[in-house]
Structure 1
Amino acid sequence: MTRGRFITLEGGEGAGKTTALAIVREELERRGRRVRTTREPGGTPAAEKIRALLLDPDTGALDPMTELLLMFAARRENVTDAILPALEGGDDVICDRFTEASHAYQGGGRGLGTAPVDALSELVHPGLEPDLVLVLDVPVDVGLARIRARGDAPDRFESDRSEFLERVRAAYLERAANHPDRFVVIDATRSPDEVADAVRAALRRALDRWS
């Protein structure tokens, strides 16, 4: 059986990942591919409980390494219970954030660097990396304005200082520049239709390459 493809959506707060995920799913299903979706942190009952702890503003400040370890604990549950079984069964998997988020948020934003993220990646999901990473990029102030416009209460990460979120954005863009074979940066400040077209175009190029 042909293994499925692993596609992840990345980006800072208010970048529009949820909308982009729906577009990717629609395009894959239109081509007759079986699709599973998941998110991080989360994706399984146990991982969702860790997600609630990580995103709850009442959790307060965590040691950066504690935060990273919690992220990878949730990730391990998602990988073993959801992502790998689906891929091995021939389904494509679309994940709202994966390990690149740890490089951005804990490695860049919290200042831990790449080494602990790489070490935990090798322990938690050896040999597994996304086939395609779509980074929805918006300036921090634009993303936060979108969250306020939705009327959503900010989660623990959205409530962090803008300097932290600027470091997150910079880390995403640096990772994308260093891995152009797998990453595509989408300018998510454009109109919804333009962003949708860019997402579809990036996915179609990847599908053509894989075939």
Structure 2
Amino acid sequence: MYRRVMDVRAPGAAALSLSLALSLGLTACGGGGGSANPLSNPATVSNPATTGGQRLSFAYFQKCINPILIAQLPALQGGGATNSCAGAGCHDTTTGAGGALRLVPSAQEVDLGDPANTPDVIRASDMYKNFYSAQGAVVVGSPTQSRLLAKPLLLVLHGGGQIIQDTSDPNAQRISYWITHPMPTGQDEFSVAADALFTPANRLTGACNPP
């Protein structure tokens, strides 16, 4: 003999509990950020300040590396077809399918000479999102172990194919230069030591090394 236990919760409570459980489940699978698609990118990207180790230069990235990532480059095995690393279907932050590297194609250059652009202000910018994501694809000091360079060289599997012929390519040389010239230990990505990466030695007015 058994007694039937009645559900005495308020009407709709069971449905609400189920809805909450599903919501939590989707969030755990990466579906947070207000997106209707649980497999999509989060609606916002947090770029906290990093601590420890050496940082790459934001100034050099903005002037010398980001232009490479948004440029129309030919796929060497694509019959002359061109595309941007930041293009749709590649590494565009909203429509890209290219793994962890996420880029905002329309990111605007930050005026590093404006005192109002403090580190906190810069870290909230789209340009910094590109910097932060690109640095995440780098092994500081080791260009060929860095996916940012190894993938376009096709040293490792790359869905976009081979984009850079070899390490003598000017784009490869600048990416390699950035990776092998981090800021001094204990200094952040906005260090004035970045001046040495330009000719003349001025991160605001100098030209990118190597030329």
Do Structure 1 and Structure 2 share a fold, with TM-score over 0.5? no
Between structures 1 and 2, the one with greater strand share: 1
Between structures 1 and 2, the one with greater helix share: 1
Report the TM-score when normalising by structure 1. 0.28
Report the TM-score when normalising by structure 2. 0.28
